Amino acid sequence: MKFFKPLKQTLAALAITALSSAASAQIAGYNVLLVHGFQFGDLSSKPSDAEVYNRDLISDYWLQRSEGKLNWSSAERVEGRISEQVFEQAKAISAQGTCSNGCVIVLHSTGDQVMRHFLANQESWLSNAGYEPLNIVATIDFGGAGGGTDFADLAVGIVANQSVPQWIKDTIGFFLGLDLSASDMSDLGVVQDLTYSGARSISMQPNDIPRLRFSGSGGNTNPLKLLLSGYSDGVVPASSSCGSSSPAGITSCSSSVGYSGQIASRNGPSGLLFNHFPVLMSKHYDHGGLKDDNPRGKVTYVYNNFNAGGLNVDFNTYVERVPWWQFWRDTGTLQFVSGSDSKSMSRVTYDTFNN
């Protein structure tokens, strides 16, 4: 891949990184970099590089706690222009020394796929360009889509099939938030990289950066959610957000506890991608809510009490027993994260890592 870009693009990246340096909050003493998720509007109105570099996405909560951003355009491809855009910004971050003492990446949705490719290649990309590679100690992945989603397979299949009536394309496109009327596959941008086969063919080699996964199974009222394999957050299936090594439909990030916190046998992952750790999950959070500072309901845990790179994963927890006759609730023995009834998943995560 070639990375020869005009000076004005590099300056734009430097400018946006400098602006974000006004933030002072950290996670466990490490600066925070943000990577946003899929932006539907990019497909219908392709943004310029300057527009990409200068937008503030994810959520106000995390923007106030970050020192930099690695933005990208959903109209592009992961192994193509997206990587070039991320690389331009990474050079500016490296030049400023933002990650000299370590950085934590907080990402959402398709940012998972974008970062997997970047983290697999950034050492050689930056070193060859005369920059120090970014010292990334861990990533916090909210609703990570790096394992693919049925919606992408559906969209790509419809566009590729010229025999599908236009009214069907328009109807399904409405619920997906995509324009499926085009006959040119390139108009789908990064959606092509989110099919199950596409997502699981990009930069799958193991690396030593822990990927901490945060998953929800709450959902919107999109009727197409029924097409997603297993449980999902309304957009991304659990097999992806949990970091499962297989795209098979699952009902939890764990084989012994459900999204509700109920301790019981579940259809969990048969295995996990290398260095991927499902940490928190909840039946109350949908895809967008995972990254926001809006309490939705109690959160349970999968992996806890371990060290991931420079982060001490040590959530305060408790067990609740609900009698069988309270049929309107999940009954039996349930496990929860303390404070999650009044704090958002994002805030619980931030507060815990800073204890």
Per-residue pLDDT of the chain (355 residues; tens, 9 = 90+): 433 344 444 444 444 444 444 445 799 999 999 999 999 999 989 999 999 999 999 999 999 999 999 999 999 999 999 999 999 999 999 999 999 999 999 999 999 999 999 999 999 999 999 999 999 999 999 999 999 999 999 999 988 887 888 877 787 787 777 888 766 777 899 999 999 999 999 999 999 999 999 999 998 777 778 889 999 999 999 999 999 999 999 999 999 999 999 999 999 999 999 999 999 999 999 999 999 999 999 999 999 999 999 899 999 999 999 999 998 889 999 999 999 999 999 999 999 999 8
Q: Which pair of tokens denotes residue 80?
A: 């193509």
Specify if 156 maps to a domain: yes
Specify if 293 maps to a domain: no
Per-residue b/e over 169-196, b at no fewer than 16 CB within 10 Å?
Answer: beebbeebebbbeeeeeebbbbbbbbbb
Beta strands in the chain (DSSP E): 31-35, 68-69, 103-108, 136-142, 211-216, 276-282, 300-301, 306-308, 311-313, 317-322, 332-337
Residues shown for the chain = 355
Non-local (6+) Cβ contacts of 233 within 8 A are: 143, 215, 216, 217, 218, 219, 241, 285, 286, 287, 290
- Look at residue 82 in the predicted model and tell me its pLDDT: 98
- Look at residue 183 in the predicted model and tell me its pLDDT: 60
Q: Which pair of tokens denotes residue 186?
A: 């390139």
- Look at residue 124 in the predicted model and tell me its pLDDT: 97
In eight-state DSSP terms, residue 309 is T
- Amino acid letter for position 215: S
- Look at residue 128 in the predicted model and tell me its pLDDT: 98
Choose among 37, 186, 58: nearest CA to 114: 37
Specify if 166 maps to a domain: yes
Specify if 28 maps to a domain: no
The domain of 162 spans: 150-193
N- to C-terminal Cα distance for the chain? 42
- Look at residue 115 in the predicted model and tell me its pLDDT: 98
In eight-state DSSP terms, residue 215 is E
Specify if 184 maps to a domain: yes
Residue 132, classified by CB atoms within 10 Å of its CB into exposed (0-12), middle (13-18) or buried (19+), is middle
Number of Cβ within 10 Å of residue 303's Cβ equals: 18
Specify if 160 maps to a domain: yes
CB 32 within 8 A of CB 177: no
Choose among 326, 225, 343: nearest CA to 280: 343
- Amino acid letter for position 87: F
Give the pairing type, strands 136-142 and 276-282: unpaired
Rounded CA gap, 59 and 349, in Å?
Answer: 15
Rounded CA gap, 326 and 330, in Å?
Answer: 8
Rounded CA gap, 178 and 194, in Å?
Answer: 14
- Look at residue 21 in the predicted model and tell me its pLDDT: 42
Non-local (6+) Cβ contacts of 76 within 8 A are: 82, 85, 189, 190
Rounded CA gap, 4 and 27, in Å?
Answer: 34
- Look at residue 31 in the predicted model and tell me its pLDDT: 97
Q: Which pair of tokens denotes residue 298?
A: 């109690």
- Look at residue 182 in the predicted model and tell me its pLDDT: 66
Give the chain's domain count.
Answer: 1
Residue 289, classified by CB atoms within 10 Å of its CB into exposed (0-12), middle (13-18) or buried (19+), is buried
Choose among 312, 239, 320: nearest CA to 276: 239
Q: Which pair of tokens denotes residue 213?
A: 């996964």
- Give me the residue label for tokens 């990446």: 105
In eight-state DSSP terms, residue 248 is S
Specify if 167 maps to a domain: yes
Specify if 110 maps to a domain: no
Number of Cβ within 10 Å of residue 126's Cβ equals: 18
- Look at residue 245 in the predicted model and tell me its pLDDT: 97
